[in-house]
A = this chain, B = another copy of it.
Amino acid sequence: MIDRSDPAAAIAAAAERNSNWGRWGPDDVRGTMNFLSESKRRAAAGLIRRGVSFSLAQSFDVNGPQKGWRRRTNPVHTMLDTGTDATAGIQGFPHGLGGADDVIAMPLQCSTQWDGLGHIFDHGYAWNGRPAASVVTSQGDSVTGIETVAGVIAGRGVLLDVGRCLGDGGELPDGFAITAAHLAATIERQGPTSVVGRGDIVVVRTGQLARCRREGWGDYAGGPAPGLSFTTADWLHDAEIAAVASDTWGVEVRPNEFDDAFQPLHQVAIPHIGLFLGEMWDPDALAVDCAAGGVYEFWLTAAPLPITGAVGSPINPIAVK
């Protein structure tokens, strides 16, 4: 049971139980991505059976979910050159060549993304026990920048479609806290292809995105949502997964499970477990395929842009079955 009045104590206890500080040496910058070894990757290759592929990314555009909280806006995409310009003959290229170029300005946390290890701190400490101020300054994350995992995030993905297994019409209601028992029940219901093990990238589908797609974004960005219970910290740690992602803004259940709290599971998962969190993924098309075929595992590549010093990255995760 959670003591709703004392998040600090609960966080400290969960952090102590689940800390991976030092597990991969004092210089480690990859956290749980260390679990995603070459042998795990090799084994996962066998999951590509039909050759069918799925993008797990939302659209990146001004119609996204962001509402401006902490200056998180939706992406703004503008053109430097266009077809209308080319047709108007004003581009100055020879022999009939025309071209179009474009620009984007966006928070790295605006849409489908990875939280990197420099994204969250606990009492001034970042992953592996480093002082936050020595890791992330205005110059960016000089230690655990997302570029440090540029080449590694490819391996076995597992969909835990909690929404479909335990929800009504495939969707969990906002505020639904997914516990370890719910995860176990989902795995049980889905069958052996969804057993979770070391190095896996776990995608938890709540169904909230499907609801928002139908009813509008509403408070998708930071408002009430289904999501992982704070109590899953131990499960996330003990399972030795490489990463966990969901179809919600913030992976965790919202409102959080303490009277005064803000993303307490993040505070354990990122700085203490060293776990990568994927947010605002879109697993819906994949989920339909998984449900239809009863196969919940797949080859997954979710490569961050190697933006030097970034504490996260927009991504387009590709699942192949």
A-to-B contact residues, CB < 8 Å: 7-8, 11, 37-46, 48-55, 57-63, 68, 70-88, 90, 93-109, 118-124, 126, 131-141, 147, 150-154, 258, 260-264, 266-267, 299, 301, 303-312, 314-318, 320
Interface centre among A8, A43, A86, A306 (most CB of B within 10 A): A86
Given known contacts A101-B107, A305-B57, A51 and B72 CB-to-CB distance under 8 angstroms: no
Contact A136 B60 (CB under 8 A): no
Collect the chain B residues with CB atoms within 8 Å of residue A39's CB.
51
CB closest chain-B residue, reference A303: B316
Contact A305 B134 (CB under 8 A): no
CB closest chain-B residue, reference A97: B267
Contact B48 A96 (CB under 8 A): no
Given known contacts A60-B307, A90-B84, A141 and B100 CB-to-CB distance under 8 angstroms: yes
Q: Tell me the interface secondary structure of chain A in the complex.
A: mixed
A-B contact pairs, 22 of them (CB 8 A): A38-B50, A41-B48, A43-B51, A45-B45, A53-B152, A54-B151, A59-B147, A60-B306, A62-B68, A71-B80, A77-B309, A82-B136, A83-B118, A85-B138, A90-B133, A95-B262, A95-B264, A100-B121, A101-B109, A101-B311, A102-B107, A104-B105
Contact A136 B83 (CB under 8 A): yes
User: Which of B51, B60, B85 lies in contact with A40, CB distance below 8 A?
Assistant: B51
Report A243 CB to chain B, min CB distance, Å: 15
In whole angstroms, how far apart are the Cα atoms of A136 and B77 in the complex?
Answer: 13
Given known contacts A81-B138, A154-B301, A308-B60, A53 and B76 CB-to-CB distance under 8 angstroms: no
Contact A42 B53 (CB under 8 A): no
In whole angstroms, how far apart are the Cα atoms of A103 and B71 in the complex?
Answer: 9
Interface centre among A107, A133, A316 (most CB of B within 10 A): A316
Given known contacts A96-B123, A100-B119, A105-B76, A133 and B86 CB-to-CB distance under 8 angstroms: yes
In whole angstroms, how far apart are the Cα atoms of A310 and B316 in the complex?
Answer: 14
CB closest chain-B residue, reference A302: B303
Contact A86 B132 (CB under 8 A): yes
Interface centre among A48, A73, A90, A104 (most CB of B within 10 A): A104
Interface centre among A44, A46, A84 (most CB of B within 10 A): A84
Contact A264 B101 (CB under 8 A): no
User: Which of B80, B109, B137, B258 lies in contact with A88, CB distance below 8 A?
Assistant: B137
